[in-house]
Amino acid sequence: MNIREVEKSSFSIIGKEGLGKAQEADIWIPPLWQEATNAFEETIHLIKQPLTILGAMSDESGQFKP
């Protein structure tokens, strides 16, 4: 895995929050993505353009907490 740190301009994150252990990611993340996909129509009016879809992760401290 190639990890690098980049500086980006500010952005917003809209999505579903899940909580699970990294070691069990294959169990809880796919259903979370499916839930987010199913709710896309509910959130589409909030999305700024250009649209980028990604997974944002934090630790239990919730540093990404709004």
62: region left, alpha or beta (phi > 0 left; psi from -120 to 50 alpha): left
Inform me whether the pLDDT recorded for 31 exceeds 60: yes
Q: What is the DSSP string of 10-59?
A: -----S------GGGHHHHHHHHHHHHHHTHHHHGGGPPSSP--------
Distance CA 50, CA 61 (A): 30
Residue whose tokens read 């649209």: 51
Inform me whether the pLDDT recorded for 27 exceeds 90: yes
Inform me whether the pLDDT recorded for 48 exceeds 60: yes
Q: Please report which confidence band the pLDDT of residue 65 belongs to, taking 50, 70 and 90 as the band edges.
A: low
Task: Tell me the domain boundaries of the chain.
Answer: 23-58
